[in-house]
Chain A
Amino acid sequence: MLSGQQSQPHHDHIGDVIAQLDHLVVGKNTQIKLSIATLLAQGHLLLEDLPGVGKTTLARALAATLGFTWNRVQFTSDLLPADITGLSIFDVARQEFRFHAGPVFTSLLLADEINRAPPKTQSALLEAMEESQVTIDGNSYTLEQPFFVVATQNPAEQLGVYPLPESQLDRFLCCIELGYPNVEAERVLLTGGDRRQMVDNTPAMATLDDVRNWQTQTSQVTTAAPVLDYTQALLQTTRQMASEGACANGLSPRAGLSLLAMSRAWAFIHGRNMVLPDDVQAVFTSVAAHRLTGSLKQGAPVTREILNLVDVA
């Protein structure tokens, strides 16, 4: 027997989670798996797409299936940092300040149209994402794990947006695009019942403990030297292409770490306890594209070219 099947039971469980999500979000298997992988890699997800293709449905389905509490914040140009993190209010009866937790205190935060808010508000959220804590009036409040942000972003060409700077894009482990459904999936969507109701009626398939457990196991997936070699070769090639002007920036070491974390999660979802180059390739575009060019759309052709270029050893 080959080693690598100890995680089989958990894998089956994850399979159930994914199967249910497939049922709720029709025809988006890859995106669902990438979302789950982002969660297992303890990262945050950026959805780059047009309105109405099911971004919110995906976020709600994730929360419902995983048994997460969730909040939704619609980002607007007049949104203040306190609208996200919460604030201290003077309680006249008790003669003291009391902290009112903002929507960020939850397991899954859906930050809708994140690039419509001004930079100050954006960075309040990004601090919470990075540090897993919120500081208000000198007091730090730790966020409970797992904490998973699903942000959606309108394509930059649209009006009234504050594009996320590269440094902040880097905080999102993974950037995916849902895209239009294919013909069959769209027919199911059009003829099936109300998605929102379906999601609300969905039983949770996992607990917070399950998720934490999976996250630990994911971090233990073997990453052998050849995979590290391959990853380094990919990073090196992005830098070379950036210097040749094919993309805006090369990948940072942090991006390399993210790539490996995502690859481990991808391997874990597929029931393996070792990372294969296939895993790296599978997640490379979603990890690298938005960091290379600032947007998934522009970055995808570049990443595809890099994957064809770099020899898999």
Chain B
Amino acid sequence: MTRAVSQSGLPESTRRLLGVTVLLTQLPLLLHLPMWICLPGTLLVLWRIIPSLHNRLTLPTLIMTPLVLVGAFAIVMHYGHIFNRDPCVAFLFLLVGFKYLESNSRHDASLLVVLSAFLLMTQFFYWQSIAAAISSIPAIFFIGLSLFTLQRGYAITDIRFMVNITAKLLLQAIPIAMLLFVAVPRVTSPGWGEGTSGNGGATTGLSSRMSPGSISELSKSDAVAFRVEFQGRTPTPYDLYWRGPVLSGFDGRDWFILPRAKHNTFTQTQSSNATPASRLNYTVTLEPTHNPWLPALDAPASLPVRITRNNTRETIAAITEEKQLDSLIKLTRPVRYSTESVITDRFFANAIPGAEYLLTTERNPKARRLATEMRSTYPDDAVLANQILRMFNQENFSYTLSPPKLQGDAIDDFLFNSRSGFCEHYSGSFVFMMRAAGIPARVVTGYQGGEINDNYMIVRQSDAHAWAEVFIDEQWQRFDPTAAVAPERIEQGIGEVLRSEGRNAIAQLPLVKALQLKWDKVNYTWQSMVIGFDSDSQSEMWQKLGLQKPGALTLVLLILAAVLVWIALILAPWSLLRRDRSDLCQLQWEKLCRSFESRGIARHNGETAEAYVVRLTEHWPIHKNTLGQLLAAYHAGRFGKDSEDAAAQKRYAGLMRDARKQLNQF
């Protein structure tokens, strides 16, 4: 029997429910899309669901179509193209709003719910953290509730009952979702392209260019750069210089990477002060950087190897002669690699450094003059370097996260005028002066320190640092001018500095700090267990189960079988297994109770058959006679004199079944 459903409109309550659903799915994307798309996209929905407006107005196609076209045109203008991740998501966002406005039939509404579900998924293009997953739960719930409401049509239903059933259905779906997550083959690289990194937050990080102020800007970010697990001893943060881009190029103001030949084989790091004890093995889980460098402790002693769980070792980086690790893979997703380093502050160079390490340009004459003067006083390279550090330490230099903007010749202005700066100022000036004194030198950027959290270490963007490497005695030796001016930065980490400057005062409170670390732990687990569950982990799982990786058909059959078993377990009437199965009338009665329960009227515990039937009759007066017959047969078959007689019971059960069939026809 198909119920006559009017095609000319949805009940107002259903419409509002749909509106809430659409809004909830739009919500997470508000963080990722430009404001001019978010605003109209959500207003289109809000406009209809605010009850006081009471507008049943729908836009006629004549107006709607041009509006959609204008939206599409604006998106193309904004992004420059349409067939890419970001413009597509933006367009979908708008379309869902328009679709809601014109949804008037159940068919439209179903389509809208499916679109919303898809829209909800798109937020994971931008954000795959556990917070994103948790924040999508309400939307998922409302999607389920909307679908259920549409399916019920105009049947009499109680909202509490609907909510209960939806929650139950979603809970029952969890094992199936987990099975699909684990069993369906993982896509190695996402098929939607990487998108233009836009405002996804992935751009925070070291860059190929360092200008005064760029690292202090970075230091304000609390974002995690990478996490490290050490095999064996955990070194003290003091020792940890994470080597990133090496900046040898200089244009008078900015330092930048010079293109270098890459070596894919490793020449052993040789150092005058390295001992076997200073070798260190560790595993890095790097957040997406969208840049081609892999951080490694100074100095790298092997090439990083991607950790795959089935023991295939894949080298994912090449090393330049400046010991900068250039990634061979795109770092658009978190990557996990293990590598080895020698903790040392000096290593022998493979070749005599060229003239580019002496380049100072024509600018900054005062600094150059100072360097020449000092050079004439201190002919020894090492002594000269230490004298400059002493100058930073003893003269009126200060270390600050918010240095004043430098004018004209930046290094001159810093050394002789402002005298307050962050690590990039000190390392840049130091390298400049060494070069001016005729000693090859370069700036190395990376991270310094880290925070121990339980069994791993967190390195944040705020740990970003820049130091100097000077070629003395055939070795590249590390000098950290920041340590000369602000030793606490190196000894106690950046947190001390931030605290003393009154920044992040709240974040530095012990309780907040502890919570933050706990949360990071959860995130790290999520990162490695869920996000990191790739095709390698999957094949390892199959191996552990003692199975070959199943073929497509086998897999489909396996999943189907498992899902069917689960559904059977859910549907199995446990009450019947417990009870005496021979009582046919009781079986019929329980079937009746279940069918009416699914129509929203459940029998209470202490409610007798008669009382229940009376209540049902109040809701469905047309069934009065049928229900009465059914009740009489039930009473006679279960409680009467004949209830012990199998044949009589069968007869009464038959009567009940007939009555039930009559009921079901409505």
Q: Which of B586, B609, B636, B639 contacts A227 (CB 8 A)?
A: B639
For B641, the chain A residues whose CB sits under 8 A away are 3-4, 222, 273-274
Would B609 and A277 count as touching, CB distance under 8 A? yes
Would B639 and A276 count as touching, CB distance under 8 A? yes
| In the complex, B606 has a CB within 8 A of chain A | yes
Restricting to A127-167, which residues have a CB under 8 Å from any CB of B? none
Interface-facing stretch out of A32-40, A74-82, A206-214, A305-313: A305-313
For B638, the chain A residues whose CB sits under 8 A away are 224, 226
For B605, the chain A residues whose CB sits under 8 A away are 308-312
For A2, the chain B residues whose CB sits under 8 A away are 632, 636, 640
Q: Which of A274, A307, A310 contacts B640 (CB 8 A)?
A: A274
> A274-B635, A308-B604, A308-B605 are contacts. A4–B610 as well, Cβ < 8 Å?
no
For B610, the chain A residues whose CB sits under 8 A away are 276, 278
| In the complex, B642 has a CB within 8 A of chain A | yes
User: Chain B: interface residue count, which band?
Assistant: 20 to 34
| In the complex, A275 has a CB within 8 A of chain B | yes
Would A3 and B606 count as touching, CB distance under 8 A? no
User: Chain A: interface residue count, which band?
Assistant: 20 to 34
Would A224 and B608 count as touching, CB distance under 8 A? no
| In the complex, B611 has a CB within 8 A of chain A | yes
> Please, how many angstroms separate the alpha-carbon atoms of A141 and B634 in the complex?
48
Restricting to A33-52, which residues have a CB under 8 Å from any CB of B? none
| In the complex, B607 has a CB within 8 A of chain A | yes
| In the complex, A281 has a CB within 8 A of chain B | yes
> Please, how many angstroms separate the alpha-carbon atoms of A227 and B641 in the complex?
12
Would B642 and A310 count as touching, CB distance under 8 A? no
For B606, the chain A residues whose CB sits under 8 A away are 281, 307-312
For A308, the chain B residues whose CB sits under 8 A away are 604-606
Chain A, residue nearest B634 (CB) = A276
> Please, how many angstroms separate the alpha-carbon atoms of A194 and B610 in the complex?
40
- Shortest C-beta distance, A288 to chain B (Å), equals 14
Would A3 and B608 count as touching, CB distance under 8 A? no
> Please, how many angstroms separate the alpha-carbon atoms of A220 and B643 in the complex?
15
Q: Which of B586, B604, B632, B642 contacts A313 (CB 8 A)?
A: B586
Restricting to A188-245, which residues have a CB under 8 Å from any CB of B? 222, 224-227
For B632, the chain A residues whose CB sits under 8 A away are 2
> A2-B632, A274-B635, A276-B635 are contacts. A312–B640 as well, Cβ < 8 Å?
no
Would A4 and B608 count as touching, CB distance under 8 A? no
Would A312 and B608 count as touching, CB distance under 8 A? yes
For A311, the chain B residues whose CB sits under 8 A away are 605-606
Contact with A along B523-562 (1 / 0, CB 8 A): 0000000000000000000000000000000000000000
Q: Which of A3, A225, A275, A276 contacts B642 (CB 8 A)?
A: A3
Would A224 and B639 count as touching, CB distance under 8 A? yes
For B611, the chain A residues whose CB sits under 8 A away are 278
Would B643 and A312 count as touching, CB distance under 8 A? no
Restricting to B620-642, which residues have a CB under 8 Å from any CB of A? 632, 635-636, 638-642
> Please, how many angstroms separate the alpha-carbon atoms of A225 and B638 in the complex?
9
> Please, how many angstroms separate the alpha-carbon atoms of A276 and B612 in the complex?
14
> Please, how many angstroms separate the alpha-carbon atoms of A310 and B644 in the complex?
24
> Please, how many angstroms separate the alpha-carbon atoms of A278 and B610 in the complex?
7
Chain A, residue nearest B611 (CB) = A278
Would A224 and B643 count as touching, CB distance under 8 A? yes
Contact with A along B590-625 (1 / 0, CB 8 A): 000000000000001111111100000000000000
Chain A, residue nearest B633 (CB) = A2
> Please, how many angstroms separate the alpha-carbon atoms of A210 and B35 in the complex?
91
Would B607 and A312 count as touching, CB distance under 8 A? yes
Chain A, residue nearest B612 (CB) = A312
> Please, how many angstroms separate the alpha-carbon atoms of A281 and B610 in the complex?
12
Would B609 and A312 count as touching, CB distance under 8 A? yes
- Shortest C-beta distance, A280 to chain B (Å), equals 9
Restricting to A250-290, which residues have a CB under 8 Å from any CB of B? 273-278, 281
- Shortest C-beta distance, A272 to chain B (Å), equals 8
> Please, how many angstroms separate the alpha-carbon atoms of A278 and B608 in the complex?
6
Would A4 and B604 count as touching, CB distance under 8 A? no
Would A4 and B609 count as touching, CB distance under 8 A? no
Chain B, residue nearest A267 (CB) = B639
> Please, how many angstroms separate the alpha-carbon atoms of A103 and B664 in the complex?
64
- Shortest C-beta distance, A284 to chain B (Å), equals 10
Can you name 26 A-B residue pairings with CB atoms under 8 Å?
A: A2-B636, A2-B640, A3-B642, A4-B636, A222-B639, A224-B638, A224-B643, A226-B586, A226-B639, A226-B643, A273-B640, A274-B636, A275-B639, A276-B608, A276-B609, A276-B610, A277-B609, A278-B609, A278-B611, A281-B606, A307-B606, A308-B606, A309-B606, A310-B605, A311-B605, A312-B605
Q: B residues near A, CB below 8 A? A: 579, 583, 586, 604-611, 632, 635-636, 638-644
Given contacts A3-B640, A281-B608, A310-B606, 8 further A-B contacts (CB under 8 A): A3-B642, A4-B640, A225-B643, A226-B586, A277-B608, A307-B606, A310-B605, A312-B609
